Amino acid sequence: MSLFDKFQPLIDIRGELEGVGVMPFGAVTEKLLSPTEAIVNGQRVILAGTNNYLGLTFEPECIQAGQQALAEQGTGTTGSRMANGTFAAHVALEQELAAFFAKQQCIVFSTGYAATMGMAATLAGPGDVIVLDADSHASLYDGVRLSGAEVVRFKHNDAADLEKRLRRLGARTANTLIIVEGMYSMLGDQAPLADIAALKKHYGGLLLVDEAHSLGMLGEHGRGVAEAAGVEEDVDFTVGTFSKSLGAIGGYCVSNHAELAAIRFAIRSYIFTASPSPSVIASTRVALRLMQERPELRTRLWDNARRLYDGLQALGFKVSPQASPVVAVTIEDRDRAIACWSQLLHRGAYVNLVMPPASPSTDSLLRCSVSAAHSHEQIDRIIEAFAGLDTEHTAAAN
């Protein structure tokens, strides 16, 4: 027996992929040409798997702000927020995020993973209960495992199953944390937050919503699914990331609970990691402002999303259950999915290949994410790349 034995399935898959000359995981972006085009694995491609929803990664104002912060404040903070790593800009971003969400409290984290994992690990503990959607992100699962709380899963987006779980808990719901995502990252489907919020109000407990993939795209102000559903007041904690719509890296938690100001000093992923670099904070602050000043970005994003969704659906592909900026094509056979990913790359479209256990089922996914920066011509070229798969995937798979 060896510590490495448990990794043998991964070693086998990697060897198999190397044998056919396909390496979809960790594909190397050799040169970025724009927010929507790059050279990936030697191929010039349209980027259709970057989560750059508003296309702000090359926004001149964001770049200028980052460059200025880099020149004035250096490359990094070299310390945690609890030590020397709290700069005035960190505090300013927390205030601006709180104002944007119309909340009293905000914590900025170094990554979105640190935010979601940290809050899930800290809010509930031994003797408490966490009830979470079965398709929750890995960061949330990692957090609840660390919490020490009893963990109960309910069927994905199934409010009736959530109610059954809460009813069984009885009086223990007073010490229960419900965790869901606003929009789920693999298929782009939205949580029935109105129903979930109503159950939380009826049975008690607290509700945490991860809006990582819905920030900037839903709701009158772009605050996410909770705003679109009209239930923001019933959400106790909203967590998310800067690495999607804001085109940077980092995470946040906002809340109206005054206790969050003290809770931050118990969150290990906040206490024991270096704070975000000044340049990242600077570009994020500008992106947050531009997201609010340019609602037309959201309009273009959804126009592109529906164009791609309708186009792939018309080709007969099994697509996500509803139109969204995440458009996933389900491929049952793993080898076919790998071959299709490779063919798409050669046809000029980079998408994400998602295989179990990362996918929410035993099927594999060709996951696309649309940007406001995509032109209609680029969306149509992505559709054309998919249209050619039926005639080529069989030979590639064999």
Whether residue 269 is predicted with pLDDT greater than 60 in this model: the reply is: yes
- Domain limits, the chain: 5-57+295-397, 77-276
Within 8 A by CB and 6+ apart from 177, the residues are 120, 123, 124, 128, 129, 130, 131, 149, 205, 206, 207, 208
Query: Could you give the C-alpha distances from 29 to 14, 37, 249, 332, in angstroms and in order?
Result: 19, 10, 18, 28
Measured between alpha carbons, how far is 374 from 53 in angstroms, rounded to an integer?
10
Whether the CB-CB separation of 268 and 223 falls below 8 Å is answered with no
- The topology under which CATH files domain 5-57+295-397 is Aspartate Aminotransferase, domain 1 (3.90.1150)
393 residue type, one letter: H
Measured between alpha carbons, how far is 68 from 284 in angstroms, rounded to an integer?
13
The residue with greater pLDDT, 391 or 50, is: 50
Question: Torsions phi, psi of 279, nearest 5?
Answer: -65, -35
One fold for 5-57+295-397 and 77-276: no
The pLDDT score that the predictor gives to residue 18 is 80
Whether residue 393 is predicted with pLDDT greater than 50 in this model: the reply is: no
Residue 15, token pair as written in the block: 């060897």
The pLDDT score that the predictor gives to residue 16 is 81
Q: How confident is the model at residue 25 (pLDDT cuts 50, 70, 90)?
A: confident
For the 77-276 domain, the top CATH level (class) is alpha beta
Residues of 181-203 as b/e, b for ≥16 C-beta within 10 angstroms? bbbbbbbbbbbbbebbbebbeeb
105 residue type, one letter: Q
pTM of the full structure: 0.94
Whether the CB-CB separation of 27 and 41 falls below 8 Å is answered with yes
Residue 118, token pair as written in the block: 């940290």
Whether residue 23 is predicted with pLDDT greater than 80 in this model: the reply is: no
Q: Strand pairing partners for 44?
A: 39
The pLDDT score that the predictor gives to residue 75 is 97
Task: Enumerate the active-site residues.
Answer: 185, 213, 244
What mean pLDDT do residues 183-199 have?
96
What mean pLDDT do residues 157-172 have?
97
Query: Could you give the C-alpha distances from 292 to 72, 212, 227, 253, 369, in angstroms and in order?
Result: 27, 17, 14, 19, 21
